[in-house]
A and B are shown apart, each in its own frame.
Chain A
Amino acid sequence: MDLLHLGSYTLSSRLILGTGKFSSASVMLEAVKASGAELVTVALRRFNREQPGDDLFTPLTSIPGITLMPNTSGASTAAEAVHAARIARELSGSPFIKVEIHPNPQHLMPDPIETYEASKILAKEGFLVMPYIPADPVLAKRLEEAGCVSVMPLGSAIGSGQGLATAEMLRIIIRESNIPVIVDAGLRSPSEAALAMEMGCDAVLVNSAVAVASNPPDMAEAFAEAVAAGRKAFRAGIMEKSGLAAATSPLTSFLGSEA
C-alpha cells in the first residue's frame, strides 16, 4: 500500500481539500465526498456555533472517513495563530493544524517568520503542524527541524490559478525533505495537480479550483483521479526527457577505449 504518513496518521488519498469559497455548504459536502479526500481543511473563522446555517465545521463531521484539519487563515501574527490553533483544537478535537499566517489580507502570502515561530510553539504543544509556506527550501528544512509533520509550499498565489509557478524551488524542497511535501495553493486544473505529483510531491491541497468550477463534485473527482495518476506515474518511474541525442562525432573519443 502506498500510504501518506502524517505524524501518526496514514492516509490513502493524496488529495487534501479546502472548504472555503463554495456556493453552499451542501455543494461543498458533495465535493468533499466525491474527492475521496481523507483530510479536509476548514478555517476557524468559518466555524459558527451560534448559527448552524452559517457553520462549515459541524456539517463536515457528518462525513465518515475524513479527518478535519482546522486552519488559522485570518491570523496575521504568530501569537494570533497560536491562540487560534488552541481554540480550534478545543472545538474540533483534531490534532492537526494548518498554520496559515498572512499579514497582508490582499495577496495572502504566508509570512515565513511568523509561520516559523507559531509552528515551533505548536509542534512543542503536540499539534500535528502543517504550515502553509512560501516555496523556500531553507524555510522548509527549518520547519522540519521544528517538528512539523509536513510542509505546504505554495504553487502560486492563493486563488491565482497560476499553477506551479514555483516549480524550481519545489524540486529542491522535495529533494531535500524528510517529511511530506504538499503543494498548496495556485493549482487551477487537474493536469497541474498530476504534474505536481509526477514531480514527487507527496500530496496536493486544492480549494478554489474545485469550489468555483461549474460542477464542483465532478471537478473534485477529476482532481482525485489526476492526483492518483500523477502519483502512480511518479512511482512507476518517468522516463527521461529526450533531447540529449548522442553527438555525431563522439565528444570523448580522445579518452580512447576503456581498459
Chain B
Amino acid sequence: MNHLPEWLSAGRDETRFRAMLLPDSPYTLEQLAAESKALTLRRFGRTMSLYAPLYLSNHCSSGCAYCGFASDRKTPRRRLEQEEIRKELDAMKRLAISDVLLLTGERTRAADFDYLRDSVATAAAKMQRVSVEAFPMSVAEYRELADAGCTGITIYQETYNPLSYGELHRWGPKKNYRERLETPARALEGGMKSVGLGVLLGLADPQEEALLLYRHLLHLGRTYWRAGLSVSFPRIRPQTGSYQPPFPVSDHLLARMIFAFRIALPDVELVLSTRESPAFRDGMAGLGITRMSIASRTTVGGYSDPESVERGQFDVFDDRSAELFCDALREKNIEPVFKNWEHTYNGPSSPEMAT
C-alpha cells in the first residue's frame, strides 16, 4: 500500500516548482502572480472557458470521511432518469451552458456503468462537450464511454499520501489507492481525450500533495502525449458530516499553488469551481485559472428545481447567477466562453479516414 510507483516517488527537474511552494519561498506571491498572469494571457488570451456540473446520482458505495454523499450519511438517495436528465440539460442550456460535467458517486447498482453510459449518450445529444466525474472504470468501459460521446474524465486522487488515503477512505472500492492512481492512465488508454486531476486540499500536507500531483501530470504527459491535462484545486468546505480538514489551506497558499502550476505547466488548463468565494474566483480569473464552473447546483435535480433545499455534495460558495458571474468576468476584461468545443471533435480519436 505504501509502495509508490517510481514516477511518483521521485521527480526530475522540480527544483523551481518546490521553491515556489516553500513556506519561506524566495518568490513573493506578487512575483508569482505577475509571471502566472503573463503566461496565462499569452497562451489563453482574455477568455474563460465555462462549464457546469450535473449531479446524476448521489448513490454511493464508498465511505469517504470528508464527503456529504458517503454511504453512511442520512442524505436521501436519488438518481435522475434519462427523461429527468434531459430536463436538467434543457434547464442548463437555457443558461447558455454547452459544456457539462456529469457526476455520480462510487459505482452502485442504482448508478452503474450502463446507467452512466446511457446518461453520457443523452447528454452528448444535447451538449457540445460532455465529461464525467464518477468512479474508476476499466479500459473497455472507458472506450465505451468515449464511443457514447464522453471526451474527458475528472478523477481526483483526493490525497497522494497513502496513509491519509487509507484512513479517509474507510470502506468501499475507493479504498484501493493504486487502483485510483492508475485510473487516469486507463481512461486515456480507453480513448478519453482529456483527464482532469486534483487533490482535495485540506486532507494532507499541501506542499507534498502539490508535488506529487505535479509528478502525476508529468508522468501522464510523457506516457500519453495526446492527452489534454487539467488541474483542479478543490478545497474542503463545510458539509454534511462536519468533517474538519487536518491541513486547512489558506487563500494565500491556494493562490500560490495555482501560480506555481501555471508557471511550471504554462499550457495546462487550470480549473476553479464554485466551492470558492466570488472574491477569490474573480481575483484568480486572468491570473492563472482558465476554466470555471458556473451557476452550479450540487444537488441531484438542482437545475430544473432550483428551489430545492436539499444539501448537495458540498456547499456552493459562489452562488451567483450565470449572468452576474459573466458580468464580473467582463468587468475584468475577460470574455466568458460557453462554447469552446465542437461536438464533431467528440468520440475516441481513431485513425479511420472520412471520405
- B contact residues around A159 at 8 Å (CB): 42-45, 267
Chain A min CB distance to B107 (Å): 29
Q: A161 CA to B41 CA in the complex, in Å?
A: 11
Chain B min CB distance to A172 (Å): 27
For residue B237, CB closer than 8 A to chain A, the reply is no
Contact of B335 among A22, A51, A108 (CB under 8 A): A22
Most buried by A among B330, B337, B352, B354: B354
Q: A161 CA to B193 CA in the complex, in Å?
A: 27
Q: Is the CB of B339 within 8 A of A24?
A: no
Q: Is the CB of B267 within 8 A of A50?
A: no
Q: Is the CB of B352 within 8 A of A79?
A: yes
For residue B221, CB closer than 8 A to chain A, the reply is yes
Contact of A44 among B93, B344, B352 (CB under 8 A): B344
A107-B267, A208-B45 as given contacts; A83 in contact with B226, CB under 8 Å: no
Q: Is the CB of A50 within 8 A of B93?
A: yes
Q: A89 CA to B221 CA in the complex, in Å?
A: 34
- B contact residues around A78 at 8 Å (CB): 353-354
Q: Pick out which of these stretches binds chain B: A69-77, A141-149, A176-184, A223-231.
A: A69-77
For residue A117, CB closer than 8 A to chain B, the reply is yes
Q: Is the CB of A79 within 8 A of B350?
A: yes
- B contact residues around A20 at 8 Å (CB): 45, 47
A103-B226, A107-B267 as given contacts; A51 in contact with B344, CB under 8 Å: no
Q: Is the CB of B96 within 8 A of A21?
A: no
Q: Is the CB of B44 within 8 A of A76?
A: no
Contact of B342 among A74, A117, A121 (CB under 8 A): A74
- B contact residues around A46 at 8 Å (CB): 337, 339-340
Q: Is the CB of B42 within 8 A of A48?
A: no
Chain A min CB distance to B192 (Å): 12
Q: How many residues of B contact A (CB 8 A)?
A: 42
Q: Is the CB of B349 within 8 A of A22?
A: no
For residue A80, CB closer than 8 A to chain B, the reply is yes
State the main secondary structure of chain A at its contact with B.
Answer: loop
Q: A44 CA to B345 CA in the complex, in Å?
A: 11
A23-B333, A46-B340, A121-B354 as given contacts; A76 in contact with B96, CB under 8 Å: no
For residues 160 through 178 of chain A, which have their beta carbon under 8 Å from a beta carbon of chain B? 160-161
For residues 69 through 119 of chain A, which have their beta carbon under 8 Å from a beta carbon of chain B? 74-80, 82-84, 87, 103-108, 117
Chain A residues touching B, range? 35 or more
- A contact residues around B345 at 8 Å (CB): 45, 74-76, 80, 84
- B contact residues around A211 at 8 Å (CB): 45-46
Q: A243 CA to B179 CA in the complex, in Å?
A: 65
Q: Is the CB of B330 within 8 A of A21?
A: no
Find the A residue at minimum CB distance from B330. Answer: A24
For residue A126, CB closer than 8 A to chain B, the reply is no
For residue B232, CB closer than 8 A to chain A, the reply is no
A45-B341, A77-B351, A106-B268 as given contacts; A212 in contact with B335, CB under 8 Å: no
Q: Which chain A residues have a beta carbon within 8 Å of chain B's beta carbons?
A: 20-25, 44-48, 50-51, 53-55, 74-80, 82-84, 87, 103-108, 117, 121, 158-161, 208, 211-212
A-B CB proximity, top 3 nearest: A21-B45, A23-B46, A105-B228
Complex A-B: 20 CB contacts under 8 Å: A20-B47, A23-B333, A24-B330, A24-B333, A45-B128, A47-B339, A50-B98, A51-B96, A51-B98, A54-B339, A74-B345, A76-B349, A84-B344, A84-B345, A103-B225, A104-B227, A106-B221, A158-B43, A211-B46, A212-B46
